[in-house]
């Protein structure tokens, strides 16, 4: 599936909760397997059951439950197993807004990833008091258990200058590409990139006409090279998310191998 030299990974763009990275040597099957595993197989904690003590807010218990479920909780996967629960409490009295930061948890390792998610705005004499269970489940059970947000990949594309543009030709608008390109014609650009450098299409407004003025440019997919875009909801880092996804596919391969071998 990969060449003798294995995989090559390179980060193009990276911040705390999002990353864009290039992988060379992947088959489409494995690329899609990793993507699917990121979305559906890496579990996160999410609030599942509520015991409402008092809810005199303008929203029904169910609506509060939905909102609480969508709040991302930090998930230390080394310390918990699928199906484990953590008890959570929330008690806010109006006039005030209940934020995710007001959520108390029974385990310091599991807490809201962001403190500033508004749950419900409470007026004078309104109160929300509840206890809840957060459960560790995979994204297959419910979208709120997904650790990845907007996870996807694109083929890495290479630009090749095919010639000069006919200056009397009708203008057929911008030539849009998105993601990352591999520079195949550095001599036709103004900036000092070398051939084979990776360029974010954002840097030239996603329009090849901007980058290669007056040139006719072809775009070709590079086989086996995929640019992943992964964002985390805050449950854990992007790096952990990707590694856990690869591990989840690997562990199933181990299970299959051992079962078949008997």
Partner 1 sequence: MELLVIDKTDEELRMEVAGEDHTFMNVLKGALLKTDGVAAATYDVNPEQSGGQTEPVLSVRTEDEVDPLDAVESAAERVEQLTDEFADAFRAAADA
Partner 2 sequence: MMVPVRCFTCGSVVSRHWEEFRERTREGDEDPGTVLDELGVERHCCRRMLVSHRDLVDVVAPYQ
Instruction: Provide DSSP, 162-228.
Output: EEEPPTTS------B--SEEE-S-GGGSSS-PPTT-EEEGGGGTTBHHHHSTTEEEEEEEEEEEEEE
Question: Are 46 and 144 contacting, i.e. CB atoms less than 8 angstroms apart?
Answer: yes
Nearer to partner 1, 41 or 182 (CB): 41
Q: Mind giving me the DSSP string for 91-116? A: EEESSEEEEGGG-EESSTTS-BS-S-
Stretch that binds partner 1, among 34-42, 47-55, 100-108, 127-135 (CB under 8 A): 34-42
Q: How many CB atoms are located within 10 Å of the residue 47 CB?
A: 24
Using the rule CB under 8 A, is 255 a contact of partner 1? yes
Residue 249, interface with partner 1 (CB under 8 A)? Answer: yes
Is residue 203 at the binding interface for partner 1, with CB under 8 A as the rule? no
Residue 76 near residue 110, CB atoms below 8 Å: yes
Residue 117 interaction partner, one of partner 1, partner 2, none, beta carbon < 5-8 Å per kind = partner 2
Among 3, 4, 10, 88, binds partner 1 (CB under 8 A): 10
Stretch that binds partner 1, among 25-33, 49-57, 124-132, 155-163 (CB under 8 A): 25-33
Binding-site ranges for partner 1 (CB under 8 A): 1-2, 6-11, 21, 23, 26-27, 29-30, 32-34, 36-37, 40-41, 239, 242-243, 246-247, 249-250, 252-257, 259-261
């Amino acid at each position: 599936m990969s060449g003798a030299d294995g995989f090559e990974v390179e980060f193009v763009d990276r911040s705390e909760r999002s990353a864009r990275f290039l992988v060379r040597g992947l088959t489409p099957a494995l690329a899609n397997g990793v993507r699917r595993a990121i979305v559906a197989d890496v579990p996160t904690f999410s609030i599942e059951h509520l015991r409402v003590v008092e809810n005199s807010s303008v929203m029904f218990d169910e609506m509060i439950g939905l909102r609480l479920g969508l709040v991302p909780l930090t998930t230390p996967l080394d310390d918990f197993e699928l199906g484990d629960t953590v008890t959570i409490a929330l008690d806010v009295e109006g006039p005030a807004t209940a934020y995710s930061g007001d959520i108390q948890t029974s385990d310091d390792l599991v807490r809201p990833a962001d403190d500033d998610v508004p749950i419900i705005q409470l007026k004078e004499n309104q109160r929300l008091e509840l206890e809840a269970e957060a459960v560790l489940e995979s994204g297959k059970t419910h979208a709120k258990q997904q650790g990845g947000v907007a996870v996807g990949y694109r083929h890495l594309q290479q630009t090749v200058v095919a010639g000069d543009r006919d200056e009397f030709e009708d203008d057929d608008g911008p030539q849009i590409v998105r993601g990352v390109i591999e520079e195949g014609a550095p001599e036709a650009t103004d900036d000092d990139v070398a051939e084979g450098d990776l360029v974010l299409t954002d840097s030239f407004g996603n329009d090849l006409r901007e980058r290669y003025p007056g040139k006719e440019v072809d775009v070709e997919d590079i086989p086996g090279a995929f640019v992943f875009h992964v964002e985390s909801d805050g449950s854990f880092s992007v790096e952990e998310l990707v590694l856990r996804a690869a591990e989840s596919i690997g562990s199933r391969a181990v299970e299959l191998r051992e079962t078949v071998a008997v």
